[in-house]
């Protein structure tokens, strides 16, 4: 009987288990998860903090998932070393686990740069795990003054979660705008106005120079008094296991399309890996949940002797922030970088579509989000714009401009 | 597996499927009471441009992107049908972002809304099919269309 080892109980790990079981119903699967919790959608932690979901509903595949899939799950223990020669993994509790095939689905960790006086802050948090969300929920009260370092996706979703508890929230970001990785200045400004209207204070183009207990002194000279500090500057892929075992690591763990690393019998999936961006053809970390699930399943199927490939992805996000919903996908090219942009005002917002070399490459939608997936599919499938009346689709997303033959295939039979 | 298909050449664009869908999923027993003056959230939707019209609802894909992309596990496949657990759904709308057919939409309770083939409401079989005056919408087994 084959022995499988899955490291990490996030979305990639869970899909890896499902992938293995779709091929091999009998092999032994062991899951080692450093977190005390597993089998939950990580992006749900802000909804948990907000009170929009609870631990029962957060269970991604149900409480009986491990039992049903015959998985022996070890929590609160990490893997410290891989030995591809002897096909064993060393655990932090000293155990030695043998494997036939293994999947590294270790995700990423919060990146905390050195900041003067950070150690003097008593109530310091990251926002990455369910445990982090529980700790924040315990610590926050109506009177709490919260300082969040980082105005990206994690920082703002954390602010949204905390907003259900306190209205004293300040968000600091070094960039001149919030969500600088997914928005352009004009769309970011709409988000900023919205957040300020809600009473969230934003300090942009600024950073903390020094912490003194419950005071933060900013580079601009501003002083912020706070009770709770959340550091949400960014994350780094957890690549050390593969790197130290001699595997190829770039920005993330390098794999082939079957999700195998450069090491024999060792696969990797999820936020710890790098993959091909379909639009730019560049390798990079696409740390989003859909990629983790597709990569995890692909790895699992191949680990069990099946055949599956993952052909890359695109960055994309659907993000609600205190009642304002934004969707973004792909890459943005302006006129200077050889692109052409299409702009439309929509009900309650606008949409901006980016094209280059005859393809839709990306979009930003605020307000009307209906049927956004038609655009996402055009990007993913690299559909040539000259194959349809693309401006009609840009104006109003529907399958009409794709033509009758397309619809016959997509709507007229099993897909 | 049986799915809902629309024969485009027979669709009149009458929108009755949208009303029947909204009523079937309203939990009410009187259609006028259920729909009159209300914002409707039908899970089937007519697309039309004056020349062409047809209805679109969830394709219940064999390998659905929405299920793979769901952050909460609210979307799952039950006996081939793509179903949504409204308790688990937090309304992130990633499913709307990835559905290539535009067949998942934001619903009235903030959760995503999509066709579940009327398996979970009192109809037991798709109300859009039953109520289509021209027989354009059918519920049957079909193979993939090869190109």
Residues of A in contact with B69 (CB under 8 A): 289-290, 293
Q: Are residues A403 and A345 in the same domain?
A: yes
Q: Which residues of A touch B72 (CB under 8 A)?
A: 41, 44, 53, 57-58, 60
Cα A74 to chain centroid distance, Å, stands at 24
pLDDT given at position B10: 96
Of chain B, the percentage scoring pLDDT greater than 70 comes to 100
**A114 pLDDT above the threshold of 80:** yes
Q: How many Å lie between the alpha carbon of B116 and the closest alpha carbon of chain A? A: 16
User: Which chain A positions have a beta carbon within 8 Å of B47's beta carbon?
Assistant: 398-400
Report, at the CATH architecture level, how domain B1-57+118-147 is classified: 2-Layer Sandwich (3.30)
Q: Rounded to the nearest 5 degrees, what angle is found at the Cα of A336, between the Cα atoms of A335 and A339?
A: 40
- What pLDDT score was predicted for residue A11? 98
Closest C-alpha among A393, A381, A385, A383 to residue A344: A393
Domain containing residue A268: CATH number: 3.50.50.60
The pLDDT value recorded for residue B146 is: 84
Tell whether A196 and A257 lie within a shared domain.
no
What is the pLDDT at residue A254? 98
Is residue A323 in some structural domain? no
| pLDDT value for B136 | 97
Q: Are strands A79-83 and A88-91 parallel, antiparallel or unpaired?
A: antiparallel
**Predicted pLDDT of residue B122:** 82
Window 100-119 of B: residues touching A by CB (8 A cutoff) are 100-102, 104-106
> Among residues A231, A251, A279, which one ends one of the domains?
A231
- Taken in order B51, B52, B55, B57, the sign of the CA dihedral is negative
Q: Domain for residue A342, yes or no?
A: yes
CB A369 within 8 A of CB A327: yes
**pLDDT tens track for B63-120:** 999 999 999 999 999 999 999 999 999 999 999 999 999 999 999 888 999 999 998 8
Mean pLDDT for chain A?
97
Residues A123 and A99 in one domain: no
Mean pLDDT of A376-380: 98
Q: Which residue among A297, A318, A371 places its CB closest to the CB of B102?
A: A371
Is the domain spanning B60-114 CATH 3.30.70.20? The answer is yes
For residue A108, what are its two tokens? 């990423």
Confidence at B124, pLDDT banded by 50, 70, 90: confident
Helix (H, G, I), strand (E, B) or coil at A158: helix
Whether residues A205 and A253 fall in one domain: no
From A325, A289, A322, select the one nearest A187 (Cα to Cα). Answer: A325
**Mind giving me the DSSP string for A60-80?**
SS-TTHHHHTTEEEEES--EE
- In a domain, residue A190? The reply is yes
Q: How far apart are CA B3 and CA B141, in angstroms?
A: 6
The answer to whether position A219 is within a domain reads yes
What pLDDT, on the 0 to 100 scale, is given for residue A267? 98
In which domain, by residue range, is A26 found?
A: 3-109+236-303
Domain edge (last residue) among A187, A210, A231:
A231
- Tell me whether residue A75 is in a domain: yes
What DSSP character marks residue A165? T
- Does A389 share its domain with A367? yes
B49 CB within 8 Å of a chain A CB: yes
pLDDT averaged over chain B?
Answer: 95
Please determine, for residue A224, whether its predicted confidence score (pLDDT) is greater than 80.
yes
A347 pLDDT tier (thresholds 50, 70, 90): confident
In terms of domains, do A122 and A225 share one? yes
A37-76 residue pLDDT tens: 999 999 999 999 999 999 999 999 999 999 999 999 999 9
- Domain assignment present for A62: yes
Query: Could you tell me if A101 and A245 lie in one domain?
Result: yes
Same domain membership, residue A177 and residue A252: no
The residue out of A303, A321, A356 marking a domain boundary is: A303
Mean pLDDT, rounded, for A260-264:
98
Per-residue pLDDT reduced to its tens digit, B127-145: 999 999 999 999 999 999 9
Q: Are residues A137 and A220 in the same domain?
A: yes
Query: Does residue A399 lie within any of the structural domains?
Result: yes
Assess whether A18 and A96 both reside in one domain: yes
Domain count, chain A: 3
Q: What is the pLDDT of residues A130-176, one digit of tens each?
A: 999 999 999 999 999 999 999 999 999 999 999 999 999 999 999 99
Q: Is residue B48 pLDDT above 80, yes or no? A: yes
The DSSP secondary structure of A236-289, one letter per residue, reads EE--HHHHHTT--BSSSB---TT-B-SSTTEEE-STTB-EEBTTT--EE----H
Distance CA A129, CA B30 (A): 47
| B85: closest chain A residue by CA | A57
- Is residue B140 within 8 angstroms of chain A, CB to CB? no
CATH 3.30.70.20 occupies which residues in chain B? 1-57+118-147, 60-114
CB A179 within 8 A of CB A169: no
**What residues have CB less than 8 Å from A379, skipping those under 6 apart?**
A278, A279, A314, A329, A330, A359, A360, A361, A362, A363
Task: Give yes or no: residues A210 and A353 share one domain.
Answer: no
By Cβ distance, the residue of B88, B97, B142 closest to A57 is: B88
Q: What's the angle, vertex CA A66, arms to CA A65 and CA A70, rounded to 5?
A: 120
Q: CA-to-CA distance for A79 and A205, rounded, in angstroms?
A: 39
Say which of A44, A405, A410 has its CB closest to residue B71. Answer: A44
Does residue A392 lie in a domain region?
A: yes
**Inter-chain residue contact B52 with A376, CB threshold 8 Å:** no
Instruction: Name chain B contacts of A43, Cβ cutoff 8 Å.
Output: 71, 92
Same domain, A343 and A374: yes
pLDDT of B147 > 80? The answer is: no
pLDDT digits (tens, 9 = 90+) for A399-415: 999 999 999 999 999 99
The CA-based angle B111-B112-B117, given to 5 degrees, is 125
Mean pLDDT of A322-326: 96
Helices (H), A127-183: 130-139, 153-163
Torsion of CA A365, A371, A374, A376, to 10 degrees: 40
């Amino acid at each position: 009987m084959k022995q499988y080892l899955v490291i990490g109980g996030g979305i990639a790990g869970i899909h890896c288990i499902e992938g293995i079981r779709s091929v091999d119903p009998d092999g032994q699967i062991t899951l080692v998860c450093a977190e005390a919790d597993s089998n939950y959608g990580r992006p749900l932690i802000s909804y948990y903090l907000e009170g929009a979901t609870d631990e029962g509903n957060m269970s991604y595949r149900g409480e009986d998932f491990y039992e049903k899939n015959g998985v022996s799950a070890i929590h609160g223990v990490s893997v410290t070393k891989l030995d591809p020669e002897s096909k064993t993994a060393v655990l932090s509790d000293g155990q030695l686990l043998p494997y036939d095939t293994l999947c590294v689905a270790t995700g990423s960790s919060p990146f905390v740069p050195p900041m003067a006086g950070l150690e003097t802050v008593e109530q310091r948090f990251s926002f990455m795990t369910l445990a982090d969300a529980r700790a924040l929920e315990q610590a926050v009260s109506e009177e709490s003054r919260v300082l969040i370092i980082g105005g990206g996706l994690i920082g703002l979703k954390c602010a949204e979660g905390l907003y259900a508890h306190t209205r004293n929230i300040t968000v600091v970001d070094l960039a001149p705008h919030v969500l600088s990785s997914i928005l352009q200045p004009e769309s970011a400004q709409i988000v900023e106005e919205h957040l300020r209207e809600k009473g969230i204070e934003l300090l942009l183009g600024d950073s903390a120079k020094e912490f003194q207990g419950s005071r933060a002194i900013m580079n601009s000279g501003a002083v912020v008094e706070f009770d709770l500090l959340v550091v949400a500057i960014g994350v780094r892929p957890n690549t050390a296991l593969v790197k130290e075992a001699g595997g190829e690591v770039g920005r993330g763990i390098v794999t082939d399309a079957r999700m195998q690393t450069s090491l024999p019998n060792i696969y990797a999936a999820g936020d710890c890996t790098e993959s091909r961006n379909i639009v730019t053809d560049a390798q990079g970390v696409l740390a989003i949940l859909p990629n983790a699930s597709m990569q995890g399943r692909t790895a699992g199927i191949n680990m069990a002797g099946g055949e599956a490939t993952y052909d890359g992805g695109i960055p994309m996000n659907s993000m609600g922030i205190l009642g304002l919903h934004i969707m973004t996908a792909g890459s943005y090219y302006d006129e200077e970088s050889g692109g052409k942009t299409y702009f439309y005002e929509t009900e309650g917002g606008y949409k901006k579509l980016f094209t280059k070399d005859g393809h839709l490459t990306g979009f930003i939608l605020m307000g009307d989000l209906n049927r956004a997936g038609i655009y996402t599919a055009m990007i993913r499938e690299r559909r040539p714009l000259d194959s349809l009346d693309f401006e009609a689709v840009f104006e109003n997303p529907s399958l009409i401009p794709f033509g009758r033959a397309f619809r016959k295939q997509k709507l007229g039979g099993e897909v | 597996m049986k799915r809902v298909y629309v024969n485009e050449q027979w669709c009149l664009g009458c929108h009755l499927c949208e009303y029947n869908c909204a009523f079937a999923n309203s939990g009410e027993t009187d259609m006028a009471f259920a729909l009159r003056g209300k914002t409707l959230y039908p899970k089937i939707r007519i697309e039309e441009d004056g020349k062409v019209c047809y209805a679109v609802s969830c394709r219940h894909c064999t390998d659905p992107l929405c299920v793979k992309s769901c952050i909460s596990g609210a979307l799952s496949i039950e006996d081939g049908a793509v179903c949504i657990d409204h308790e688990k759904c937090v309304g992130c709308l990633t499913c709307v972002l990835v559905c290539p057919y535009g067949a998942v939409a934001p619903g009235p309770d903030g959760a995503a809304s999509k066709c579940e083939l009327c398996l979970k409401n009192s109809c037991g079989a798709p109300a859009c099919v039953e109520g289509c005056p021209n027989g354009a919408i059918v519920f049957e087994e079909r193979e993939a269309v090869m190109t």
